[in-house]
Structure 1
Amino acid sequence: MADNNPAGVDNTFRRKFDREEYLERAREREREEADGRSKSKAKGPPVQRKPLKHRDYVVDLESRLGKTQVVTPIAPLSQQAGYYCSVCECVVKDSANYLDHINGKKHQRALGMSMRVERASLDQVRERFELLKKRKVPGSFSEQDLDERIIKQQEEEEERRRQRREKKKEKKKEKAAVEEETEMDPDIAAMMGFGSFHSSKK
């Protein structure tokens, strides 16, 4: 039976590896690492990043809510539709993805922070609690404060209702006064030549 394949053609479709070549490459790599000239070290020392810290600004998600904006393809990124990140110079289309982006690894790296959180000591936690006790957050209140605020709000609502009633009474009085002024005494009207405004036709 004759072989249909020409001579020197490998028809097994399997890759053949030269073991000696790869062994030589491995030895060369080991020698470089031993000499301290590995490719990773040639790039320079690894970047030291700061641990994560809390944001010192409020994330604005609602300032452009419900507003209409004309978007053109030639507009700069900061004026396109969506949420613009000035650190990464990208536009994110909705608020959920924007929050994911600013809390994500890429954005934090661009800010120079790693994704690790610095472990706080017991003294730091105590200091933080003391600071928060001293700086009472406006709007925080106890149950007694809540009762006082409810009573105060009810009194204010009652005062507003009373003022509205008084305004209505004043308007009625003014309207009555205007009607009295417009009504003319019949004797004076007759002297001036005004008769009744009824039709003379019978």
Structure 2
Amino acid sequence: MAEPNNNVVGIDNTFRKKFDREEYLQRAREREEKEAEGRKSKARGPPVQRKPLKQRDYEVDLESRLGKTQVVTPIAPLSQQAGYYCSVCECVVKDSANYLDHINGKKHQRALGMSMRVERASLKQVQERFEVLKKRKDSTSITVQDFDERMLKQQQEEEERKRQRREKKKEKKKEKAAEEEPEEDADIAAMMGFGGFRTSKK
């Protein structure tokens, strides 16, 4: 009988993949270093300070092209295509509701250099605003009184005009009646045997 050979290396038939722990730890460290460098390159410096959101100082034109027709060509520049053109963002929006959403939206405001935060008003600003609104209210109450006076005056003038029209109509009727009434010739009426040419209806 043959003796077993202890020098023979056995065959690994377990079919399990063996990982080199050190190699994968090294790969993970390299990946983390690359990500950290990428984050540093993206951070260009301190964050941009944008102005707070402020009220629009121009009127939004939504009605100038209302009811007009336009020939749409695919080769026309963006500003001449159908819809509402935003020169800040260089885009065309197809209807007025979406255009309003766009110009009030975050992307457009950022392009204008504003954040979506509203500036906090101080006590002094609020008091000044109340004073302005009080003055405006006083001026509108005066205009309401003026409006009532003007309406009353206008009604009186209208009644006067109607009265004058009625008088003119009455005068015209009298003139017409006088023109239609024939002149009576007494001799002809006596010859025919009656007192006049008048009708019994009046």
Calculate the TM-score normalised by the size of structure 1.
Answer: 0.57
Deviation at 1:175, TM superposition (A): 11
Give the secondary-structure state (helix, strand or coil) at the position aligned to 1:63: coil
- Kindly provide the CA deviation profile for residues 48-72 of structure 1, in whole angstroms up to 9, marking residues without a partner as x: 211111111222223333x322223
d(CA) in 2 for partners of 1:63, 1:138? 34
d(CA) in 2 for partners of 1:53, 1:104? 13
Deviation at 1:23, TM superposition (A): 3.2
d(CA) in 2 for partners of 1:89, 1:53? 22
Determine the structure 2 residue equivalent to 1:23.
29
Instruction: Give 1:38's aligned amino acid.
Output: K
The structure with more radius of gyration: 2
- Kindly provide the CA deviation profile for residues 109-138 of structure 1, in whole angstroms up to 9, marking residues without a partner as x: 11110111111221222222234434x269
In structure 2, relative to structure 1, the CA distance for the partners of 1:128 and 1:26 (3 Å cut) is same
Number of residue pairs matched by the alignment:
161
d(CA) in 1 for partners of 2:86, 2:138? 31
d(CA) in 2 for partners of 1:55, 1:140? 24
Matches within 5 A, 1:88-107: 88-107=89-108
Instruction: Give 2:32's aligned amino acid.
Output: A
Determine the structure 1 residue equivalent to 2:86.
85
d(CA) in 2 for partners of 1:175, 1:62? 53
Determine the structure 1 residue equivalent to 2:113.
112
- Kindly provide the CA deviation profile for residues 143-172 of structure 1, in whole angstroms up to 9, marking residues without a partner as x: xx6466345324414523643664687699
In structure 2, relative to structure 1, the CA distance for the partners of 1:147 and 1:103 (3 Å cut) is same
Contact 2:84–2:94 at 8 Å: present in 1 too?
yes
Give the unaligned 5+ runs of structure 1.
1-17, 182-202
Give the secondary-structure state (helix, strand or coil) at the position aligned to 1:91: strand
d(CA) in 2 for partners of 1:148, 1:80? 48
Calculate the TM-score normalised by the size of structure 2.
Answer: 0.57
Contact 2:79–2:92 at 8 Å: present in 1 too?
yes
RMSD between aligned residues: 4.1
- Kindly provide the CA deviation profile for residues 30-82 of structure 1, in whole angstroms up to 9, marking residues without a partner as x: 5x49xxx81223x34432211111111222223333x3222231444333332
Give the unaligned 5+ runs of structure 2.
1-22, 180-202
Determine the structure 2 residue equivalent to 1:39.
41
Deviation at 1:95, TM superposition (A): 1.9
Contact 2:72–2:82 at 8 Å: present in 1 too?
no
d(CA) in 1 for partners of 2:160, 2:104? 52
In structure 2, relative to structure 1, the CA distance for the partners of 1:83 and 1:137 (3 Å cut) is farther
- Kindly provide the CA deviation profile for residues 78-109 of structure 1, in whole angstroms up to 9, marking residues without a partner as x: 33332222222222222221111111001101
Instruction: Give 1:94's aligned amino acid.
Output: D
Instruction: Give 1:23's aligned amino acid.
Output: R
